[in-house]
Amino acid sequence: MTEAFLALPIFFPGTGLWKGYQGRCYIIKVLSVAAARSKKRMAAGHEPECLLDFWAQQVSDGAQVASRLLAIRSAHFLAWSKRRWPVR
């Protein structure tokens, strides 16, 4: 994959750039499958065992906090929008 950084910008099969791109696609595919498995395990309530499990747990916790904050902010905005301000 390092060859792709130093290769001429010619994207044909067999060139360093093409091999680097294929390696990138493979890594993305493998990590996507691993992240999906980890998220499923964390959603089922298992304890984190590896770095990817801890990451999935943090993402899940962050999403829950963000949804709670959005609900609070929406309720606050709704309360303020119902007030009528005098128009001069």
Whole-structure pTM value: 0.57
Q: Is residue 86 part of a domain?
A: no
| pLDDT at residue 87, rounded to an integer | 60
Selection from 13, 20, 16, 55 nearest residue 34 by Cα: 55
| pLDDT at residue 24, rounded to an integer | 92
Q: Is residue 88 part of a domain?
A: no
Query: Is residue 38 within 8 Å of 52, Cβ to Cβ?
Result: yes
Give residue 66's domain range. 2-81
Residues (pLDDT < 70) of the chain are 1-8, 75-88
| pLDDT at residue 78, rounded to an integer | 63
Q: Is residue 76 part of a domain?
A: yes
Q: Is residue 7 part of a domain?
A: yes
- Report how many domains make up the chain: 1
